[in-house]
Amino acid sequence: MLLQRKKVSPALSEEAQLLYKSLKRLPQLDSFRNPVTRDIARKIQNGEWAETQKQLDFSYDLTAHPMGGVDGVRMLTKGFKADGPIILYLHAGGFVCGSPESNAGAVLPLCDMTGGQAYGVRYALAPENPFPAAWNDATAYYKALLQEIPDNKRIIAVGDSAGGNLLLSSLVRWRDEGLRLPDKAVLISPVLDGSASSDTMLTVQRHDPLIQNKGGTSISSLFRHYANGLDVTDPRVSPINADLSGLPPLMIQVGSREVLLGDSARLSQRALRAGNDVRLRVLDGMFHMFHLYWNLPETKAVYEDMSNFALY
């Protein structure tokens, strides 16, 4: 039975409508800020994301692959091709949870469709390891990856949610340090502004099943745990405020039922004004982290779009 129109878009698949309702049981942001509930919330959220891998209809393999003094995971699928791209993956989790293994479902479809192999970075989590720990881990791993692969190997960088934040701030850093940049970058529902200033923090908050952010206060509080005393508007923490010139082509994917929609829209405009090649995809009716649910027709469609962007 489909949900009522007033609660979810009837244009969505039945599978997406039912999932929208079920996601409201998952931990909210304040659970991760509270030291009493943090470990429980991490276990619940990581378990939910890991469970989504059972929906994948292709075989895959995850193998530990540390580089540059940072732990990581190499991901291969049955679609692997020797000439496929290298995919660097920075996982979601609000800077406080997630892992390359539990979140692998967000990048494995791209591996299978492009013939690529992915490397997921196990960056340090806040608040135990606040900024710049994760930022430094991402760069150390990427530098080691550049040393390991041929110079002509195509690199696609992917980051979702907080991983999208970490990826964008890292791209700016790598540009400034003169490193080779990835050939293309995909940002999935990135959270980019620690001040939670986007209009959709207010207008969409009652419709986002995963981020009940109380008008942005929960997001800004979580950023303060990550920022380690820096102002949350610092461009290294909130890359929406960074100089975005000279970045690789970007694809941004976000749902219309996400409080983070405004962050993606603002990034698209700022990156375009900085002279970058940007493609913004807004998925009608979709919600945060729907990319992990491979059984949704909408998810298969966005990965086809993502793989075409990565390859051409």
| Catalytic residue set | 161, 258, 288
Other beta carbons within 10 Å of 306: 24
How far is it, in rounded angstroms, from Cα 183 to Cα 201? Answer: 32
Q: Residue 177 is encoded by which pair of tokens?
A: 């340090």
**Phi, psi (5° rounding) for residue 56?**
-65, 135
How far is it, in rounded angstroms, from Cα 235 to Cα 242? Answer: 5
How far is it, in rounded angstroms, from Cα 79 to Cα 56? Answer: 13
How far is it, in rounded angstroms, from Cα 193 to Cα 143? Answer: 26
Name beta bridge partners: 278. Answer: 250
